[in-house]
Structure 1
């Protein structure tokens, strides 16, 4: 068993075999018990040190620190190394190590109301949130609530190029949670979104090879939705930044001249990156 990923299913497991599933369930229970025992032992050792030294007899005066210092601590605790992928990790990705796509210590926001009011701005405003489908963004907005939507500054989305032969589901015929990665689905969620502070977006085309390398264009429906979403933030001093991955260089001209528009062209590593985005 892999010590770093104790819940990883065996490649030989037949998902339709009840006996194999039962064995995997028992293995997961044993791994969970092992982690719990390790946690309890570590907690006891820390409590013993605390009692012996008296180091924590008085609470640390965190809120007496200068705000600049507190903000630095919030950044260490709440800014993820990679783009944040909201929602629980898939069962096959569970492990004992922290995920680089999650904030290191989000529990800091729950200490008290004062810390919450300061830290929540760092959590939502300094991280980039990544979504594979429009439905994932719908769920995210519902979970964080209307009070926090205005704090989100940066998004990373993936979309699928639509060709003449493509069959695109009508988003009006599906519940929002089921909206997919088609441009029309993204356009719909962008227009109805409650996010009002977004100033940075990265858009990745998942199938740029379908129209030839470097020939991908942003359709007018998605183009107008992007402009509308990034134009909501009332602070005109904040620079709008748009990154388009694997589209034509001429797409820059479709967006306002005062925006920073970057084009990431197709290269030898594109196929590998696309596989990691689409199938991960």
Structure 2
């Protein structure tokens, strides 16, 4: 997350990230273009990947965890017949296979990758190993035994088969999923090996790639009202949480970090929710006996 001089401006800018640009570079570009003091993103995309990169500004950065935890949709192509050291087309080919599965065989194999699965991250990933990033160790030639991690896969379907060497898939999954690992493990399961050819994040939580702003537009509209008008309100990042309406007195208490009274609702005791007053978010917290006990307070 970037914290530098600039304006106190809050909201979300949905960027349609181009290939060849890091997620950090996109955040820095947006922060510069809006002269924002604080910015961060809700979920890294590999440099070669494209699609939704939701950039949070100012107080919206406090809602980033709720977008990070939300479901995401990826469209990607697997190149069958070869494994690479990075599990994508950017790496070196380390093994090949002549076998090519049928569409039916691919569809049958996908069943094992749906639901709650255990997934080993790629060697070239941001996972930390003894305080070091795995990709740094991999570049130094180390072969790591990375621990498998749980991943919820809502759906995984074969969408197209352009040729015998290529399969296009769509996956909806939870937090922490590696598409490159899916390509690697599916290729191994099919006996043909595989790696990601291209990858696009179609949506992330409430944010759609079709609504994203291109880097060229950001550069053209930098430091103008036109770009600022593209910002979505902070509250969009709370779409997956129930909303409670705070009383005027409750809102004042919440802004000071104290439990505040909210109007009656169907939110259950102990459930996480957010409180609003006069249409703006005041705080996120836990609902208990008519009050919201805040964990995050918004200074809007």
User: TM-score normalised to the size of structure 1?
Assistant: 0.22
Report 1 or 2 for greater relative contact order, CA contacts < 8 Å, sequence distance ≥ 6. 2
Q: When you count helix as a share of all residues, which structure comes out higher?
A: 1
Structure whose CA Rg is larger = 1
User: TM-score normalised to the size of structure 2?
Assistant: 0.21
Q: When you count strand as a share of all residues, which structure comes out higher?
A: 2
